[in-house]
């Protein structure tokens, strides 16, 4: 078991860290025995422990540095550390270290050690010139800047802890963030911002369509950002536009049937706008009229009922819910009544959000939010591919957004070619496969239609998920699985490898894996890990503190 010593202000971050790194742990008790102790240098007490490994984090000098011959420099601004060629950004400050021991990480650029590995009286000590708990709080409350979006920073911190434990010969069990039998979890989400081109006659949206479908698609073809076939399809759509408005042929901006076919056999999540022509208020206080949507949930009740019957999820595409709990309740009620189905999820339109929004959505009764991502890029805003609990909330969970079509392909954002977009998305999926968790994908309602016609990169993205053995589920089911995993409380639980080996295997959507981490005889890489499937009920018994046979 891991003992943790931290400043009281860090307790929420500590608890959330161990919800993500799901292994037995406890707040440090000097009378207890631990295999490893993790210490924030703002606290003390580990000197009383006989643990095999002590990991000390902190950006200030510590009285525990001197006995192991380490000196910490003055606090520095945020930086980036290099660990065996992998760069991990540090946002809450760093200090460089000098003294005995081997350098496990260095500051990029300066090259000075920021992690030292040494021994004291037979005890392994790893001193880190940053505070992991402060890093966790930063990532889950502010999120990392877009320049680091491609780095799963928090997941890398957990991987470092795992490696250090194994290197020190500590055997420990863990519940990985991926169910048995699949390579990763994934969810397909669709933000319904527009619903039919017939709703647009002389407005800015129609003018933008006319330009991008004609001149824009020709320019894209010439610059290699789109194919000739795509340009021809757009020009045919332009020619058909009068017939669409006359009602003689189908409206090519109606997305539901198209996505039901494209996503099959998977079931998806559709985020629906509650009220027509309400732009809401921006975080800077402005009202941007173009944010208003020319439909409301009550206008498409038959379509929502059909989606629900097919097993798709209906969720809220919020307007002002991020600003107040009352607005959230009103918007949630509007979509729930229109769908005649339980609605518990939300993603804010245009990803509007501020630091108080988590608690407001929590107070409004949402089960999960799916806003935490980027408009201008793709990647890991929270530094993780796991569903997490925003610090300060009671029930709400956050399903982070990782891959968004407009971020990748839209002019004025990344504006990738289709090949570049697929390659970037695949890198994110590979990272999720490696660390475990969910890849959350947002493909907007008109992105399979003229003038965007981003159906080919979407098709390739789905093929990548299949090749990686993804378990693709609606967002609500992804959140439910993580909530089940989070319900296994391993704080203070003595769950040893011998006890785990006696648990029966289980299958199905609610199955969890238990992984036994052991140091390999010749290497410390994960090839030596033993994985077992375990039933959730058996783990719940362990979480109640009952000692299993062999523990």
| Cβ proximity of 148 and 88 under 8 Å | no
At residue 546, the pLDDT reads 28
CB-CB neighbours of 65 under 10 Å: 21
Residues with Cβ within 8 Å of 423's Cβ and at least 6 positions away in sequence, in order, are: none
> Could you tell me the pLDDT band of residue 535, with boundaries at 50, 70 and 90?
very low
Which helix (H) or strand (E) is 140 found in, with range?
A: helix 132-141
Q: Let me know if 27 is exposed, middle or buried by CB neighbors in 10 A (0-12, 13-18, 19+).
A: middle
| Cβ proximity of 495 and 460 under 8 Å | no
Q: From CA 547, how far away is CA 444, in angstroms rounded?
A: 50
Q: What is the pLDDT of residues 184-205, one digit of tens each?
A: 999 999 999 999 999 888 888 8
> Could you tell me the pLDDT band of residue 68, with boundaries at 50, 70 and 90?
confident
Residues with Cβ within 8 Å of 247's Cβ and at least 6 positions away in sequence, in order, are: 198
Average pLDDT for residues 61-84, to the nearest whole number?
A: 80
> Could you tell me the pLDDT band of residue 453, with boundaries at 50, 70 and 90?
very high
CATH of domain 184-196+253-481: 3.20.20.370
At residue 501, the pLDDT reads 52
At residue 44, the pLDDT reads 59
| Cβ proximity of 520 and 169 under 8 Å | no
At residue 547, the pLDDT reads 26
CATH of domain 2-170: 3.40.50
The whole-model pTM stands at 0.90
At residue 223, the pLDDT reads 86
Q: Which residue carries 């000692």 as its tokens?
A: 547
At residue 443, the pLDDT reads 97
Query: Among 38-52, 220-234, 387-401, 413-427, whose mean pLDDT is lowest?
Result: 38-52
Of 105, 99, 117, residue with least CA distance to 79: 105
> What percent of the chain stands above pLDDT 90?
69
Residue spans of the domains in the chain: they are 2-170, 184-196+253-481, 201-250, 488-543
More confident residue, 536 or 518: 518
CB-CB neighbours of 282 under 10 Å: 12
Q: From CA 297, how far away is CA 331, in angstroms rounded?
A: 10
Q: What is the pLDDT of residues 434-450, one digit of tens each?
A: 999 999 999 999 999 99
């Amino acid at each position: 078991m891991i003992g943790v010593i931290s400043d009281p202000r860090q307790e929420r971050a500590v608890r959330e860290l161990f919800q993500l790194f799901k292994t037995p742990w406890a707040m440090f008790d000097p009378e207890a025995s631990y295999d490893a102790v993790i210490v924030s240098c703002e606290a003390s007490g580990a000197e009383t422990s006989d643990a095999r490994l002590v990991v000390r984090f902190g950006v200030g000098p510590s009285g525990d540095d001197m006995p192991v011959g380490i000196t910490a420099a003055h606090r520095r601004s945020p930086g980036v550390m290099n660990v065996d060629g992998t760069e991990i950004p540090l946002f809450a400050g760093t200090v460089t270290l000098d003294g005995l021991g081997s350098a496990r990480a260095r500051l990029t650029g300066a090259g000075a050690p920021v992690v030292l590995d040494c021994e004291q009286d037979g005890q392994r000590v790893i001193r880190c010139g940053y505070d992991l708990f402060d890093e966790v709080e930063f990532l889950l409350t502010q999120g990392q800047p877009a320049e680091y979006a491609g780095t799963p920073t928090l997941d890398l911190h957990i991987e470092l802890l795992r490696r250090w434990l194994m290197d020190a010969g500590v055997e420990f069990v863990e519940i990985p963030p991926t169910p048995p039998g699949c390579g990763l979890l994934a969810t397909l989400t669709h933000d319904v911002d527009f619903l039919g081109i017939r709703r647009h006659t002389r407005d800015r949206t129609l003018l933008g369509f006319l330009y991008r479908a004609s001149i824009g698609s020709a320019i894209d073809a010439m610059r290699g950002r789109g194919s000739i076939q795509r340009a021809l399809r757009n020009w045919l759509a332009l020619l058909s536009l009068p017939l669409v408005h006359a009602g003689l042929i189908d409206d090519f901006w109606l997305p539901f049937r198209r996505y039901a076919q494209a996503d099959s056999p998977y079931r998806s999540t559709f985020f629906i706008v509650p009220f027509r022509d309400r732009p809401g208020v921006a975080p800077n206080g402005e009202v941007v009229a173009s944010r208003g949507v020319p439909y409301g949930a009550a206008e498409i009740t038959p379509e929502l009922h059909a989606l629900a019957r097919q097993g798709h999820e209906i969720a809220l595409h919020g307007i002002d819910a991020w600003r107040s709990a009352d607005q959230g309740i009103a918007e949630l009620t509007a979509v729930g009544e229109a769908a005649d189905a339980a609605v518990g999820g939300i993603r804010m339109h245009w990803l509007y959000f501020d630091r108080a929004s988590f608690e407001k959505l929590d107070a409004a009764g949402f089960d999960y939010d799916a806003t935490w991502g980027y408009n201008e890029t793709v990647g890991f805003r929270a530094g993780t591919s796991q569903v997490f609990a925003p610090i300060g909330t009671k029930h709400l969970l956050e399903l982070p957004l990782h891959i968004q079509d407009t971020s990748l392909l839209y002019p004025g954002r990344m504006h990738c070619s289709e090949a570049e977009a697929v390659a970037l998305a695949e890198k994110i999926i590979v990272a999720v496969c490696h660390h475990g968790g969910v890849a959350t994908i947002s493909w907007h309602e008109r992105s399979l239609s003229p003038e965007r016609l981003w159906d080919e990169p979407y098709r390739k993205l789905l093929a990548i998920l299949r090749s990686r053995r993804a378990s693709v589920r609606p967002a609500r089911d992804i959140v439910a699985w993580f909530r089940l995993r989070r319900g296994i409380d391993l704080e203070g639980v003595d769950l040893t490898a011998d006890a785990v080996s006696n648990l029966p295997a289980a299958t199905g959507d609610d199955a969890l894996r238990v992984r036994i981490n052991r140091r390999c005889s010749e290497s410390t890489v994960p090839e030596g890990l033993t994985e077992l499937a375990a039933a959730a009920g058996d783990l719940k018994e362990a979480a109640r503190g009952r000692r299993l046979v062999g523990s």
